Structure 1
Amino acid sequence: MSPLTNTIVLAIAGLATQASASTIKVAVGKSGLTFAPDTVTASAGDVLEFHFYAKNHSVVMGDWTDACVPAKTGGFYSGFFPTAANTSNAEVFSVTINDTTPIAFYCSQNTGSHCKNGMVGVVNPSGENTLEAYQAKAKSVSSAESPATVFGGVVSAAPAASSTGTETGASSTASSTSSSSASASTKPNGAASLGVSSVTGMVAIVGAAALFVY
Structure 2
Amino acid sequence: MSSSAAGYAAITAAATATTVISSTIEVTSTLTVAAQAANTASATAAAAGQETVHVVQVGGSNGTTIFSPNNVIAAAGDLVQFQFNAKNHSVVQSTFDQPCVPIQNVMPNKTDAFFSGFMANNHTFGKAGVQLVYTIRVKDTKPIWFYCSQAKHCQSGMVGAINAAASGNKTVQAFAALAAGAAVNLSPGENPAAAAASSAVASLGGASSIATATAAVSGVAGATGGGATAASTSGPPLQSVNAAPGRFADAARSGMAGIAYAVIAAFFML
Could you state the TM-score of these two structures normalised by the residue count of structure 2? Answer: 0.45
Deviations 1:46-77 (A, max 9, x none): 01101001100000111111111112323210
CA shift in 2, pair 1:89/1:57, >3 Å: farther
For 1:19, the equivalent position in structure 2 comes to 49
How does 1:1-214 map onto structure 2 within 5 Å? 19-31=49-61, 32-71=64-103, 72=107, 73=110, 74-84=112-122, 86=124, 90-110=131-151, 113-126=152-165, 127-148=168-189
Q: What SS does the aligned partner of 1:132 have?
A: helix
CA shift in 2, pair 1:89/1:105, >3 Å: farther
Deviations 1:143-173 (A, max 9, x none): 2111149xxxxxxxxxxxxxxxxxxxxxxxx
Q: What SS does the aligned partner of 2:93 have?
A: strand
How much does 1:142 deviate?
2.7
Report if aligned partners of 2:94, 2:100 keep a CA contact under 8 Å in 1. Answer: yes
Q: What SS does the aligned partner of 1:117 have?
A: coil
How far, CA to CA, are the matches of 1:85 and 1:93 in structure 2? 15
How much is the aligned-residue C-alpha RMSD, in angstroms?
Answer: 2.0
How far, CA to CA, are the matches of 1:141 and 1:36 in structure 2? 22
Structure 1 stretches of at least 4 aligned residues deviating more than 4 Å after TM superposition: none
Deviations 1:59-109 (A, max 9, x none): 011111111111232321000000126267633100000000011110000
Q: What SS does the aligned partner of 2:177 have?
A: helix
Deviations 1:13-49 (A, max 9, x none): xxxxx92531011100023111111111000000110
Higher Rg of the two aligned structures? 2
CA shift in 2, pair 1:89/1:62, >3 Å: farther
Identity over the aligned pairs, expressed in percent?
39
Could you state the TM-score of these two structures normalised by the residue count of structure 1? Answer: 0.56
What one-letter code is carried by the residue in structure 1 that aligns with 2:132?
A: E
How far, CA to CA, are the matches of 1:29 and 1:49 in structure 2? 14
- Could you tell me which runs of 5 or more consecutive residues in structure 2 were left unpaired when the two chains were aligned: 1-47, 191-270
CA shift in 2, pair 1:19/1:33, >3 Å: same
Q: What SS does the aligned partner of 1:19 have?
A: coil
What one-letter code is carried by the residue in structure 2 that aligns with 1:28?
A: V
What one-letter code is carried by the residue in structure 1 that aligns with 2:187?
A: S
Q: Which has the higher helix share?
A: 2
